Structures are given as C-alpha cells and as structure tokens.
Structure 1
C-alpha cells in the first residue's frame, strides 16, 4: 500500500505527545537546523496552553509525520490562521502537507470563515507551490511573507456550488504557479485571480488584496464585476463606482444590488432589474479619512455591494485608501532635547493632488516649542514630496500633538484647505509626558519610554540613549483557553497620569471572549529606567469567572543572559544568543532574568510572587492564576518590573527586586565541571563533564589533556545528551590543570580548568611563640599578631610571594606602620588603631560546600578601643588543603556593638613581592587596550583589576593568581617604587548581635601565565558564610 493511502489525519490528543516530540526533534533541518530538544512533556504543556481551535496530525502506522495548527488570525478580522505547519523530512514529497492544508481549509469552511492565512519566509521555496496550489496568494510586501487563502469564501458562495459539487476544486485549478509574490497591479490595486476548468465548464473569481473581497466572478452563464476608479481616493470628492452584470444565457437574470460599504464610505445604492444581456450601473461615492491610516496588516475600508442573481447572493468588495489632499509630518534627527535649546525640525510634506500646488502651513501656538516663523510656504509638485527645515526653540519637554491648518492653491488659482495632525516627542532630563501618533501611544520619563502600538497593544520599553532595541511586551491574553482577541483590538481608552515619582500610561481593553471583563494595564515609568506594569481586571458583566488566567508574554533578546538556578546563577558568557526554547524554565529558582549587550546596555526583568515565569512557545511569559473573579469585583496583579539600564550587574538587579538575599555563585552556560566536585584525593576517579545548562543536546568530540595523558570521547546527536563525560584518575596531588577542545559540526571551543587534588600529607599548624605557621607540604603561610594583624608570609617551595618587613612594622611609602602581607582592613580603622587592639590566633578547620575540610588559622581581633567599631570582632581566615598550592582567605564580622552598621566597607590588602627585586615583579591584566603587563618598583600606577590577576616575576615559571570574590565592590592595584598592592573592596551590613561575612578570595600558585576565564573557585564557599 502506498504511504499516502496509509496516512490518516487525526485531531491531537495527549497520547500523541511523544510522537509529536519525536517528529519535531527529527525535523530540525526544516527550521534552520536549530538544536531545540522537545520532550513529550513539552508538547503536553504547549498544547494545553495553545490558542489553536484545532491541531491536525498526520499519522502513518502510529508515527506522527505531520502537524498543522488552526487558530483565529490575530492580526486582522475575518480570518482563521495556520500558525505552524510541518511535515517530517522523511515523508516530504508524499502530499502529506496537501492533506493537512485541505483539512484546515475544510474546517474553515465548516466554521463559516471567509479566509485562511499563514506566514512563511521568502526562502521557503519548496513549500510555496503547495501553498499556491491549495489556494494561497503570496502578498507582495516588504515587512512580512504573508499568504492569504480565499477558497473558504469561494466554496461558501451558493451560486458557485453547482460547479464545485461536480468538480474537485484542487484538481481543476488552472491558476499559474510561480515562485514569487502574486497579483496583477492596476490603478494602485492588486488583484488575485482563481480559475478552474473542467471540460467546457469554468469559473473565474478575482479578489482585491486590501479589501479581502471579490471584485469579479465569471462563469459559463454570467459575469459580475465592480470597478473603482483608483485605490487612493481623496476625501469628500465624488467618485463613480461601476457595477456590471453580463448574461451569457438565453434566459433573463433577476438581479438586485444593495450597497454594503464601510461606514467611512458615503454611498446610496439600491437597485433591481432583469438582465437579458448586459447591464451596468454607477453610483457616486465619497470617502472619509479614518482616524488611523489603513495598515497592510488590516482589512482596508471597502466600497462594495451585495448582488443577487436569481436569488443567490454575491458579495463584491474592493478596498480603498482614503486620503486628504496632502500629508504633513514633522521630524527631528535629535534624540534628546533640553528647555530653551534651539534646533531644527524637518517638515516632510506629500501632495496627493495631480497638479503642482503651493501650500501655506500655519503653526499653532502651544506650550512645547516656539516656531521661528508663524507659518511656512512650500511649493509641491503634483503627487510629489518636499522637505523643509524649520527653526524652533524648545519651551519644555513634552509631546507636540496639534492640528495644523494647510491652505493651498493650484497654479490656476483654485483654493483648497485641509487640517492635519502633527505629532512629535521631545524627551529630555526630567521630562514626564505622554502623547500619541496615528499608530502609537507614548509615555516618557527622561530618556525612558513606553511605546504602545494601537493596532495590537504590543508594548516597547526602552531608552532613547540605548544602543539596544527596546524590550517587547507582547499582547496580553485571557484564558483558559487563551484568546488572541486583544491582538486585533485598539484600547477603548488611554490615560496619562503624572505622579511625583513617575509617569503612568493606563490602557483599557474590553474582552469579548470573556464578556464583561475589562483589562486595565498601568505602565509606571520612573526616571531611573525602572518600568512597573500593574494589571487590573474588572468584571462588569453578570457572569462569575473561575480559574481565569492572565498571560503577559515578553520577548527579550537573550544577550549574555543571566538566570537564577538553585545552586547558582547561569551566566551567558558566550556570543550565542539563546532562543526561549533553550531555557530550562522549570529550574528557575527566583523571579528575575537579566541581559546585557557588549555596549553595556542592560535589561532586568522580574515578576511578582503570584505569577509564574515560564516559556510560552517562542516567547517568555508571566502567568497569573486569578482563581475567582465574581461579577462586580476587580483583581489587581503585579508589578512586573522592567529595568532599562537600571543596574550594571545582575547581582544589583537581584538585590533590587528581591531585597536582602544571600549571594549566589556564577555558573557559565558551557563548561567542563567535575561531577564529584572540584576537590578530590590522589587515586580518586573524577568524572569531568563538558555540559550545557541549556536544553539542546551536546554532540561532537571532546578532547581533554591532563598530565600528558590525552582523553577523547565522541558523542552523536542521536545520543540525546546535554553532557559529555570523561573519567580521569588523578594520581598526583596539587593543582592539576586540564586543557582541551570541543569540536562539533557547528562550533569549536577551547577550555582550561583545574582540579584540586589532595595529597596524603596532613596540613600542619604550628606555633612558635606568637608565630603561627601553616604547612600543607608544598606551601606555608605565617602570621604573627605582635608584628601585624594579618598573614605576613606566603612561601611556595621556599619562594616568598608576599612583601613584609618582619619582625618589626614601620613606615613605608604612604603607610605607617606598614607590615605588608595580606589582611582585611575595616574602613576608618588606621594601622595604628588596629595595632592597639588585641589579636588572637588559633588553628581552625572549615568545611566547604562539598564537605571537604580546609585547615588553617583564624586571626580574631575584638575592638575595645576604637570608638566607631567598639564591640565588633573581625575574624580573618586563611585555609588550605593537603599538598595543594592554594590558599583561601575570607573574613567574618561578629557585630557585638549596640548599633547597626549599614553599607560599611572592608578591604582585603595584599602586598606582593615574588622576587627579591621589586622592579622584576609584575601584574598581568588582560584589557581591551594594548598594555597587558605592568611592573612594580619603577613608577607610580593605579590600575583597575579584573576578576582575577596573575602576579609573577621575570625568570620564574610559577605565578600567583589572585582570584577576587564575585561579591567585591571593586578591585584595584597600586604600584610605586616601594610597594606592589592589590586591593579588593567589599561591603558589609549587620545589626547588633548579628554577623556578616566576606566571601573567599583565592591565592593560586602554578604555571598559569594568564587569568583563567573559567575556574571552580567562585563556587567554593565555607559553611557559616
């Protein structure tokens, strides 16, 4: 049996979810080769939230091989829509797509809808012949590849039914099929034509593009046609519209004609006659200009009539574009204005008249700008354009929204006039205002704005100073089932509300899918770039609603995306901009997202506790379950928060929207990570895993090199994994470095990481008088509280890395007393004051997040003398592991003072000298500039440090890498002829009897010559911090 004969078209049920997932995973090449991995659970969730009226599946021997959704078209009235059509690549060319499309057309006819639309992309040339053969016309547009199918209307015309009852419309179609946009252009119109032939019988039907209606029908027996003189018609001018009927039979036709045009068309048409051969009639029509210019996304105003032939109705409709005699636009090339600033506006004028005209434009008096002249005169060619610079002075930041009067005359002296609206925003510092153009509503506060499209309530949030495109809030939806009704509705009202702290734009949308429900949206724009969105639902109807949901989709650009998970924050450090489908939305542990681009523009997104942030097909969305909304009641929800350049780092955005929270470590999207943890013991097998924190499968070849051993593993796409594992036994203790590559068909990566391998030797802590020394077998560090309250010496295999003058602190450079080494310094506490306090030292063992024990010393200083911090105890920890050349340093602050400390600073100072000669010691700092290495002991430098810095000296292969805490406020370096200082500044707060902690900084000694981009140290924390 042929495959096509085994294909059945069925309605989707959950039992098909696994088959649908399999089809999508095997159809990637149909959709650009993306790496999205779909599961049965994904399908169940997506289809449960879908706005589809029907979902048709093509099934062959229980395998799902085709998919076709059918929903209401959200961009225009009067049409259903195919949001997604797919045929499994292994089953293409077998007419399965045709069966699915014909099923969708049949269902559209059953519902009584006149049209079926879909979108595709210009390069989808394989599918275009199928679409056209099934009745679709490709619209000639620049902004979208949009196809319209009028077959449902044709098949519902009673007068044509005899032909289509006898003949299959698909097989009798003789329409030319070409891989290009369709249409015959004439007098500004675009006409689409169907033609069917079966022996001596034929039918021809012509549709006009913008009115989406029939302009001509011809059969063997008769022809009806309407003719409009031009597509663009001037308002208040009489135009003749002709209707013609031809009778090709020997019997007369009973014909009646009644006008059925849009409300903007003035027409009086009502006639009846008997047509023996040929009959035509003309009516005089006038058009009015609508409040909004007709959009290519919508059906235009139409001129038309219902003609009946022998009692059978034939609807004729032709779309038109009503115009004034001219159009005036005012524009500026300047983004930002300040009061009393003088500048230039550009007046763009367009004449719709045939002859040359002279216009006089009179400027209205208003409070936003002052015109240099009260009027301007311009000569415009027939149907021509002109632009004129106009000098102005800004009176105040605001929205210029005025009607201007245009008086004109032709060369023959005939006078005319019209009034037109000009609209332009003048944003500037502190300017809070709103206004609207023909197509959009705006709200501004300083450079920040909210822009709302009138036709579909799509909202853009951005800044005029940003280099990034605005964030897009898609049309809200009510459900279940979710309705797309608001996507083709204009708000019933818009209000502008100025508050002391913000500017608010309020829009109101009335639901028909849920009668009586009004959705009010409040967009609150703050002057610092924060925008808050509150929703208010009011039930003005008689029905009580239960289990109502409000869905607010958003479409961010996921550049350098940051998202929170339970054990850290996923950081998008790659150039890859992920799709929404790549996100693991169920792993989100907190209510926020954050993105940034290379220019430094940031977007923060956050949602309230009562909402769920989740995927909504290719969008992200916030889902509010509303439970009950009784008649006469209202519910308020929100706010959803959007931050436009509000913070420069994700941690600040997180703290802003969540309040006081514990810090989270960063995790890159892709990395090589040991499953058993970053700390192991000699002889242990550690599984090093190259893994992705996104949903797409990882496939390719992973190569890892460690201690001259090479490990290689290859994984194929069909293996369906998100991690590639390589088990390695680490035989030697210390800091073992792993380098490697990942190669796939589409990407190449290089990486370097490390493993901390503990040896068998124990860490020894010894005391000699007041000198405390920690020895882990490969390095030692020493503290002496009577000398200076810090670690003054750090030696690796006998080589000193710290700079000090033990046994006696004294003056050096800008400091007195100076003890060097490394220590934490509390703000406002001088070295003299610190030396006055008693510091106690003791051995200590601390457990990290994976249960590994680090050993070292703690220096505890309780302040009794210093007035500001009296009662506070500063604990400085220095810890290490057996035979591992790494030292972890962190601080705890026990706040015993009877006061609260807020936003206090504490700095970690490290004075470094890895060679006896300071001028041979250097810091290596990767930057965007040309200099990367700076030497101490030569001249004075102040330098900004990155997340980590490599310290070395000429002639020595071992370097010290100082890895700063991610919670630092800043990190800098200072060099002069006497010292080499690296400093990181942190912030702490604590009320009385509470404690605060500074996360660890790591000192790593090895042969690394550059700071590592990825490493494990930021994830190491100690219990109690």
Structure 2
C-alpha cells in the first residue's frame, strides 16, 4: 500500500492528429489546470531536444484555485520523432510557498514517411509513414489507423485469451516488456506477457506495419518452463472489424451491406462466410481484412475471433499463429481486395447481391404464363412489418405478407408463385371487392377495364426450403434450419385482360419494416404465343438474317459484324449501328 502523489497542476499537450510538417513555423496547445485550493503562478520550461526548436521556452501562467487555462507554444520541427520529456514546473503559491516538480509528457510528431515509435506510461505507438498502431497498456487494446483516417475501434484487436477455459487475465495485465524495431521497411511492435494463470507460458502479440498500408498481426506462444503442458494450449484471437458499408462473401454470394442493414454482427452467421476476407468502405477509410484459407472465422455479438489449438507444448517450444492481414486505405474497390486475399487474378468480376434479394422468374426477364417472385433476406432477421408485391400493369392483386421476427435467427425466404391465364373471358370473383384489401392480404384497386383482351388467374403460395407451410391467417410461423417461410392462400382468383401478351409488366416489391423502408422494381417481358419467323434478305449489298415474333425483331449480317446490329421492339429501333459500313458504333 502507498499514497499516490498528486501534482499541483495537470498538464496536457494538444497536438493535431493529422500530418506535421518540418521546417514550418507551427503551434500546439498546452492545457493546464491548477489542482491547488489557492491561487498560484506556474512557471513552465520546455526542455531542448534534437528535432524541435521552440521560439519561447519559458512560460508563466497565473491561475486561481481549481482554474483551467490553455496557452500557445510556437515551434519549428526539424524531423519526425517521438517527443518524450520531463517538463520542469515551478508553482509559486499566493501564500508564499514554492513547489517544484517534473511532469512527464509524451507525444509524437509524424508525417508521411519514416518509421518512428515511442512508449509512454499507459501506451505505446509505432508508425510507418502515414500508417500506425497504438497499444493501450491498461487494456491491451490495439488500435490501427492512418493519417487523415484517424484511430478508431472499427478495426482493432482486443486482448488475447489462453485456455481452455479461456482466461481474461490480459484484460488488465500490462505487458512485461514492449519491443519496437524495424525490419527493412516494416515497423514492428511486440508486446510480451509472462502469464500467471498459465505458469511457464509466455505470450507475444506482434503487429507489423508496412509502409504500403498492409498490417499483419499474429501471436507467439512459448513454453519457458521446465515441463510439457499437461493439456493442449488454446488461443482465442479476438478483434473487431466494422461491416458498415461493406461487402461479405456469404452463402456463395457477395452481399452488399448498405445503410439499411448496418454493420451489426448479430445479423450474420459466420458459418456461411464462404471466402477468407471481409471488406468495408466505412466513412473515410476503406478497410479489408483477410486470413489463412484453412482458418474459420467466428462472430460474437460485437467482435470476431479465431480459435487456435496449439497442442501440448514441450519445454522451449514456440508456436506462431498464422497472421491476420489488414489493408488500411489500400484498396478502393472490393474486387481488388478480393484478388489480394485469394492471391489470384479474377477475370470475371462478380456482381453484388443486396442483403435483401428480390428476383422474378429466377432472374430471367422473359416469363411465361407462370413465374415466381422470390424474396430472400440473408440476415438473421429480427424485424417485423410487411412485404407487398404489386403488378405495374395490375395483372394481379397486391399481395401483402405480414413479417414476424424470425424465430430461427437464420434468414428468411418467401416465394410467391404467380400464374397468369393468357386467354379467356373477363371474370372477377363476385366475392372480391375491387377497392378493399382483404385480411388475407389480397390487395384490390385493379381496374378490369385497363385490360380487355383476356383473363389472368393469380395464385400465391409460400414455402420454405424444407417444404414447410404455414397458415398465415392463423398467425403461426414455422421455422427450420434453412430459414423461416410464410404461406398465404387467398382462395380468390382474379381474371383480367391479357395485356401481358402485349406489354411488359413492372413487378414492385415494397418492404415496410420497423428497421427500414425499401422497394425494388423488376421488369418482366411476357413471352409471345406467336411463331418466330426467320428470313434471309439482302440490304445495302449485305446478306441479312432476320428473326421476329411480331413484337421483337433482331437482325445480323455476317458481311457486317459477328453480332446483332438491329433490335426492334414494336418497330422502334434500340441499337445505334453504323450498318452497313463498320465503324466505332455497336
């Protein structure tokens, strides 16, 4: 036990977090607080040090008891370096007493090049040009950052845990030693811990910062005792990576996480991550994280982790984990980072899938008399609200589905089966009010007079991937390992005109939930029942092949190009071609 001494004054250096400049007259701010109960004059002297020149070294500040103030210090920087000094301070009390003390101050002056580091009482920091790592010695939290990108917990490491069971010993234990050094153009920060809960084991946390913005982090575990460990040694490598505005490889797709989803980890099942990388655009700094393909990442409520079985360690054995790689502001596009993580060139760039995916007719825009509208929520969804499926041409009634929080917590899938009868008489079920939405979710508002050439029957069904059905009127949900599905059969049919045989339709899916509002529109072109006619002609001395079905026509000429040069819809040309003379146009 002892008494922690209290300084007569509290001093704080305020230096801009962004770039410093050499050879330029600059300034920083010194904050001071009188911790005494009486008035005093504080005399502060800035020590001389190689690398910095002060225009004025001595300052006198008069403060009342408990008062705070700031003053400006002008300087010229000669080089980038870690500024660590004991600043002598003399307090002249109003009562006549004099108190002299030294205050340890640490800060760093950094730019866009060079490797610098320094260690203070509660932290250690290392930089390689604009990139750096900062270790909190109290919590062993390791933050990563870049000039003008700042430091945050968006991508950072928490204290490591040894087990099993996993211990939180290092959540409060300071490193026994810290080593900072350079290996070529790489800056290295190594924090070493001698463990109490696992006697004879020594753990080292190693962070390597490259000048190109690539940062690698890994651990070394060494048996410094005289005996082999009695059990296998496990290491839990825990870190944070915010998925906000990100892209993740999920269920074989590439899911875009936009503002409607956010970066919360509890939306996602780590077992469904299909490649060894994650990418986030963030607010200011794009960040990518990748790992060895043999490792499986796991998600907790707000962090990610790997679990390594290091086996039994004989005396003197040292085991190193495979590094986790971070790219800070290196890749502006997720495709490029994916190639970096997979270590191969990818010729075909895959497309993004929204976290809520909507497809009509399995993505084929040309539909027949029946097709499906598929709604897939990839997230572990907990939202409630409703989904409405509409026809722009009013070929079927609005379909409304109530959403309940997904009890299975493993995504949600809804399938709408739609059948349209392309022929017959106009016939509207007499029990259906064309202006009222029924409790079964069948929307009205369909003007039969809009379509007068046939009739269409609409049948909506829902099913889960496992084939389970649910009675929506009963308000029940059925869940399975593949997700949650709802089913609603209205028992009503609607016959309308066959405008689908002439016009395309716009299928609109509206989401109105307690979390976000979202809508998707997809065009559908209905196949004609007419025969396709083909013919060979000569136009402008070129052989021309033509195919048409009364609505669409296409033309190609082997004498002109190896591809189509004409596409007409309802006699309106959609291609801008230079036919018959080859040119720069398609």
For the aligned pair, the TM-score class normalised by the smaller chain equals 0.7 to 0.9
Answering whether residue 270 of structure 2 is matched by residue 585 of structure 1, we say: yes
Answering whether residue 433 of structure 2 is matched by residue 722 of structure 1, we say: no
Q: Structure 1 residues 821, 790: closer, same or farther in 2, change over 3 A?
A: farther
Distance 2:68 2:405 in 1: 60
Answering whether residue 520 of structure 2 is matched by residue 751 of structure 1, we say: yes
In the alignment, which of 376, 381, 392 is matched to residue 696 of structure 1? 381
Q: Structure 1 residues 660, 702: closer, same or farther in 2, change over 3 A?
A: same
Answering whether residue 248 of structure 2 is matched by residue 479 of structure 1, we say: no
Q: Please show how residues 491-640 of structure 1 align to structure 2 within 5 Å.
A: 491-545=175-229, 546-597=231-282, 599-640=283-324
Aligned twin of 1:668: 354
In the alignment, which of 793, 800, 804 is matched to residue 577 of structure 2? 804
In the alignment, which of 23, 28, 40 is matched to residue 345 of structure 1? 28
In the alignment, which of 400, 424, 427 is matched to residue 713 of structure 1? 400
Q: Please show how residues 728-877 of structure 1 align to structure 2 within 5 Å.
A: 728-729=418-419, 732=500, 736-755=505-524, 758-759=527-528, 771=543, 773=545, 775=547, 777=549, 778-784=551-557, 786-787=559-560, 791-809=564-582, 819-822=583-586
Distance 2:234 2:531 in 1: 61
Cα deviation, residue 591, structure 1: 1.0
Secondary structure, in 3 states, of the residue corresponding to 2:398? strand
Aligned twin of 1:331: 14
Distance 2:360 2:276 in 1: 29
Aligned twin of 2:325: 641
Range with bigger deviation, 458-467 or 636-645: 458-467
Distance 2:23 2:351 in 1: 50
Cα deviation, residue 330, structure 1: 1.7
Q: TM-score if structure 1 supplies the norm length? A: 0.45
Q: Please show how residues 35-184 of structure 1 align to structure 2 within 5 Å.
A: none
Distance 1:513 1:435 in 2: 29
Range with bigger deviation, 424-433 or 758-767: 758-767
Distance 1:448 1:566 in 2: 34
Distance 2:563 2:77 in 1: 61
Distance 1:623 1:649 in 2: 29
- Count of matched residue pairs: 494
Cα deviation, residue 494, structure 1: 1.1
Cα deviation, residue 569, structure 1: 0.3
Does structure 1 conserve the Cα–Cα contact (< 8 Å) formed by 2:89 and 2:101? yes
Secondary structure, in 3 states, of the residue corresponding to 1:359? strand
Distance 2:216 2:240 in 1: 16
Deviation digits for residues 159-205 of structure 1, max 9, x if unmatched?
xxxxxxxxxxxxxxxxxxxxxxxxxxxxxxxxxxxxxxxxxxxxxxx
Distance 2:265 2:38 in 1: 54
Unaligned 5+ residue runs, structure 2? 423-499
Distance 1:393 1:763 in 2: 82
Q: Please show how residues 117-266 of structure 1 align to structure 2 within 5 Å.
A: 262=1, 265=2
Distance 1:699 1:445 in 2: 48
Secondary structure, in 3 states, of the residue corresponding to 2:336? helix
Cα deviation, residue 511, structure 1: 1.9
Does structure 2 conserve the Cα–Cα contact (< 8 Å) formed by 1:611 and 1:625? no
Distance 2:48 2:572 in 1: 81
Secondary structure, in 3 states, of the residue corresponding to 1:710? coil
Cα deviation, residue 762, structure 1: 7.3
Does structure 1 conserve the Cα–Cα contact (< 8 Å) formed by 2:286 and 2:328? yes
Aligned twin of 2:78: 395
Distance 2:40 2:327 in 1: 50
Larger Rg: 1
Does structure 1 conserve the Cα–Cα contact (< 8 Å) formed by 2:275 and 2:293? no
Secondary structure, in 3 states, of the residue corresponding to 2:297? strand
Does structure 2 conserve the Cα–Cα contact (< 8 Å) formed by 1:771 and 1:782? no
Unaligned 5+ residue runs, structure 1? 1-261, 266-286, 290-321, 810-818, 823-1025
Aligned twin of 1:185: none
Distance 2:377 2:345 in 1: 27
Q: Please show how residues 980-1019 of structure 1 align to structure 2 within 5 Å.
A: none
Q: Structure 1 residues 820, 775: closer, same or farther in 2, change over 3 A?
A: farther
Cα deviation, residue 392, structure 1: 0.6
Q: Structure 1 residues 411, 518: closer, same or farther in 2, change over 3 A?
A: same
Distance 1:564 1:573 in 2: 15
Secondary structure, in 3 states, of the residue corresponding to 1:515? coil
Does structure 1 conserve the Cα–Cα contact (< 8 Å) formed by 2:125 and 2:134? yes
Distance 1:323 1:488 in 2: 23
Secondary structure, in 3 states, of the residue corresponding to 2:190? strand
Cα deviation, residue 632, structure 1: 1.1
Aligned twin of 1:459: 142
Secondary structure, in 3 states, of the residue corresponding to 2:232? strand
Deviation digits for residues 910-949 of structure 1, max 9, x if unmatched?
xxxxxxxxxxxxxxxxxxxxxxxxxxxxxxxxxxxxxxxx
Q: Structure 1 residues 714, 603: closer, same or farther in 2, change over 3 A?
A: same
Cα deviation, residue 374, structure 1: 3.2
Cα deviation, residue 354, structure 1: 3.6
Distance 1:762 1:466 in 2: 62
Aligned twin of 1:442: 125
Aligned twin of 1:682: 368
Aligned twin of 2:493: none
Cα deviation, residue 508, structure 1: 1.1
Distance 2:251 2:546 in 1: 35
Secondary structure, in 3 states, of the residue corresponding to 1:612? coil
Range with bigger deviation, 393-402 or 445-454: 445-454
Q: Structure 1 residues 585, 350: closer, same or farther in 2, change over 3 A?
A: same
Q: Structure 1 residues 699, 676: closer, same or farther in 2, change over 3 A?
A: farther
Aligned twin of 1:366: 49
Q: Structure 1 residues 761, 564: closer, same or farther in 2, change over 3 A?
A: farther
Cα deviation, residue 454, structure 1: 1.2
Cα deviation, residue 589, structure 1: 0.6
Does structure 2 conserve the Cα–Cα contact (< 8 Å) formed by 1:669 and 1:693? yes
RMSD across aligned positions (CA): 2.9
Q: Structure 1 residues 407, 565: closer, same or farther in 2, change over 3 A?
A: same
Distance 1:767 1:627 in 2: 75
Distance 2:170 2:150 in 1: 30
Distance 2:298 2:110 in 1: 35
Deviation digits for residues 665-694 of structure 1, max 9, x if unmatched?
3110013224855366512342x2322111
Distance 1:781 1:468 in 2: 58
Cα deviation, residue 478, structure 1: 1.4
Deviation digits for residues 193-250 of structure 1, max 9, x if unmatched?
xxxxxxxxxxxxxxxxxxxxxxxxxxxxxxxxxxxxxxxxxxxxxxxxxxxxxxxxxx
Cα deviation, residue 325, structure 1: 3.0
